[in-house]
Structure 1
Amino acid sequence: MVNNAQSPTAPSTSTGDGAIIGETMRIKGSIFSRDELRIDGEVEGSLESHNRLTINSKGKADATIKAAEVVIAGTVNGNVEATQRIVLRKGANLVGDVKTAGIVIEDGAYFRGGIDITRQDTPKAGGR
């Protein structure tokens, strides 16, 4: 279900390089993208991208998030998983657990939750 405060039929902006959920959009449900995904509006449900997923400063997500890279400048309530890294920008608010290979938390970001840093298995010396 897609709700838009100005026009109930206005679609999100989409290009071959990704998709944008605009400031006036409010979405409930699951969103999947192989391209980059940028959230400027509100999302409730789940978000998944095989690329970068960005929650901009005005963006809000009450969602489970999975992506290669997650950049948060807005507000997220929910667990976040990134195969590469998670970046919390100044002013970001994240309440939930994170699982990632790398994390950057800038001064001025708020984070409450657990962190699980993953790593690729490395071959043991001597083949053991």
Structure 2
Amino acid sequence: MFDKPKKEAEKPAAPKAAATTPSSKPAPAGNSGQTTTIGASVKLNGELNGDEDLLIQGQVEGNIYLKEHNLTIGEQGTIKANAFARTITVRGTLTGDLNGVEKVTITSTGKVRGNIVSPKVILEEGATFKGSIDMDAKAAKPASQPAASAKSA
């Protein structure tokens, strides 16, 4: 009779060991930093610079510079800005030029009116796009130089 409770006490120890294994898995997913969110009720006017990934659900007017990070325009996002980022994903509405160092994606819910410069462009079925596309791999890099000149002026 006394041996059974000891075995039951040992069984909960095994799930605790299993719980440590999943906690080690999320660490590699966040190795490059955090994602900042601009909420649906936020309106921002001006220049936006950052050193982390950005999700915009609100309204932004101006210019967005995330040179080595990812920009996502959420389904509720309404942007009137030129954007420069490593990757750009548009799920909402954007009016302005997009410069993606690696890739620009317009999802089925995305609406873009402007020009795209990126070596890889994805337009999903249902996406709305009016503008031009330049897929020259070198073209996205010089776009950062005029942006830097505009900042210093």
| TM-score, with length taken from structure 1 | 0.79
Q: RMSD of aligned C-alpha atoms?
A: 0.9
Moved over 3 A (4+): none
Decide which structure has the larger Cα Rg and report it: 2
Is the partner of 1:51 in helix, strand or coil? strand
Question: What CA distance in whole angstroms lies between the structure 2 residues aligned with 1:110 and 1:91?
Answer: 8
Question: What CA distance in whole angstroms lies between the structure 2 residues aligned with 1:115 and 1:98?
Answer: 5
In the alignment, which residue of structure 1 is the partner of 2:105?
87
In the alignment, which residue of structure 1 is the partner of 2:82?
64
Letter in 1 for 2:137: R
Task: Quote how far apart the aligned CAs of 1:34 are.
Answer: 1.2
In the alignment, which residue of structure 2 is the partner of 1:98?
116
Alignment of 1:36-51 (within 5 A): 36-49=53-66, 50-51=68-69
More strand by share: 1
In the alignment, which residue of structure 1 is the partner of 2:134?
116
More helix by share: 2
Letter in 1 for 2:38: I
In the alignment, which residue of structure 2 is the partner of 1:11?
none
| TM-score, with length taken from structure 2 | 0.67
In the alignment, which residue of structure 1 is the partner of 2:42?
25
Tell me, which stretches of 5 or more residues in structure 1 are unaligned? Answer: 1-15, 121-128
Is the partner of 2:126 in helix, strand or coil? coil
Letter in 2 for 1:32: N
Task: Quote how far apart the aligned CAs of 1:18 are.
Answer: 2.5
Tell me, which stretches of 5 or more residues in structure 2 are unaligned? Answer: 1-32, 139-153
Confirm or deny that 1:76 pairs with 2:70: no
Question: What CA distance in whole angstroms lies between the structure 2 residues aligned with 1:119 and 1:62?
Answer: 25
Which structure has more RCO (C-alpha within 8 Å, separation ≥ 6)? 1
Instruction: Give the number of equivalent residue pairs.
Output: 105
Task: Quote how far apart the aligned CAs of 1:60 are.
Answer: 0.7
Question: What CA distance in whole angstroms lies between the structure 2 residues aligned with 1:48 and 1:111?
Answer: 22
